[in-house]
Amino acid sequence: MKTHEEQVAEALDFLRIELPSWGFANTGTRFGKFLQPEAATSVEEKFADAAEVHRLTGACPSLALHVEWDLPGGAADAGKIRKLASQYGIRAGAINPNLFERQEYKYGSVCHPDSGVRKMALDHLIESVRIARELGVRDVSLWFADGSNYPGTQSVRRRIEWMEEALEATHAALDPGQRLLVEYKPFEPAFYHTDIADWGMALLLSRRAGPQARVLVDTGHHYQAQNIEQIVTWLLREGMLGGFHFNDRRYADDDLTLGSIDPYQVFRIFHELLSPGENLDDVAFMVDQSHNLKGKLEAMVQTVCTAQELFARAALVDRARLAELQNACKLVEAEECLRQAFWFDVRPAVKAWRKWHGLAEEPLEALRASGYLERIRAERGAANAKAISSYA
């Protein structure tokens, strides 16, 4: 029987978490931004920051990219990205199209009533697939802001058809090893109806798109008290779970740092993922958070460390014992069996794993002591001060 330390080490050796390029830049809420002097001002600085997080945690070898923000020239920018990936030892990760910022998308992108706007959106999706191909990236991650704010102002039925057409056409452009990850969100910016509002819609659309489409679960994109781990279990059972965007929420889509509100929920999700017979090789773990108040590097390191600890705890669940108790309907004992792993202090085992791999035992403290934050504040301060001045 494996020791706790061996179980934790095995889990952490497996866990790889993709970082978001936009998490290092000045981003915020629809109400505004609080700009930070250390925020990345270029895609190169985003790669540098991702490399620092990976150096400290040993768990983040790839960086998700946003087409409009990181590759404004489209596939023509792929060569630059390849150079940065080689320079910093960080792979290009999931490619994220942008179908929500242009003025033409006021009434939708792929679901816009104007066929010309729909074509423009589809062309962008096809270009995103091409970018992924040029970079050797597997996943193209799709989130649509499409929807409507008032009853009767749009045809829900026609918009379903337009969404299906767009996803099928995008899927047809994929190479055999590529995937579409279809994300859902119940509301915002559309408040009456969102075209992909829940996991059932995402599942149906993925299946209709083709065999290389999967569902992407954003842990913030759910109503209060929704049982996310049940959704995860259904998608696993159907072979349709493509990946996660990790964050936390107080209401919905707050994009708070992972586990800051409900670490027990994250643990329960990990528990379902680690259930016997599940193959997680094709499940992508990605961060998607708005570090509007927390320091960006600190928030990212904190997130990864939290994920590592909660994943390690989930790996310690005595699943054989739990199954026996479930079958016997021993409710209290079964719940305590699960909770025992959640309350177990895995920090010594996690520190031992880090030490074994030559990593800092306390990554957040190591970041603060490294001088990296002071250096990038000095290097980027002028550019960010200018941005702060113009934003004010």
The pLDDT of 277-296, averaged and rounded, is 93
Task: Name the helix (H) or strand (E) containing 17.
Answer: strand 17-20
Q: Across residues 341-354, what is the average pLDDT?
A: 98
The predicted structure's pLDDT at residue 260: 97
Q: What is the pLDDT of residues 227-250, one digit of tens each?
A: 999 999 999 999 999 999 999 999
Mean pLDDT of 139-154: 98
Q: What is the mean pLDDT of residues 55-80?
A: 97
Residue 357's pLDDT is what?
98
Q: How many Å from the N-terminal Cα to the C-terminal Cα in the chain?
A: 61
* Among 272, 204, 264, CA closest to 244: 272
* CA-closest candidate to residue 109, choices 158, 62, 146: 146
* Tokens 């008290």, located at residue: 225
With a cut of 60, say whether residue 392 has pLDDT above it.
no
Q: pLDDT category, 384, cuts 50, 70, 90? A: confident
- What pLDDT, on the 0 to 100 scale, is given for residue 327? 98
- 282 sits in the region (left: phi over 0; alpha: psi -120 to 50; else beta) called alpha
Instruction: Give tens-digit pLDDT for 99-136.
Output: 999 999 999 999 999 999 999 999 999 999 999 999 99
**In contact, 318 and 278? CB cutoff 8 Å:** no
| DSSP H or E run through 216 | strand 213-218
List, in sequence order, every residue forming a beta bridge with 246; answer none if it has no partner: 287
CATH number for 111: 3.20.20.150
3-state SS, residue 198: coil
Number of domains in the chain: 1
Domain that holds residue 147: 4-391
Q: Which amino acid is at 114?
A: D
Is the pLDDT confidence value at 390 over 70? Answer: no
pLDDT in tens, 161-178: 999 999 999 999 999 999
User: Averaged over 6-11, what is the pLDDT?
Assistant: 98
Distance CA 134, CA 153 (A): 40
**What confidence score (pLDDT) does residue 264 get?**
98
The pTM of the full predicted model, rounded to 2 decimals, is: 0.96
Rounded distance, CA 332 to CA 73, Å? 58
The rounded distance, in Å, linking the Cα atoms of 10 and 6 is 6
List Cα–Cα distances, 103 to 64, 106, 108, 314, in angstroms: 25, 6, 10, 45
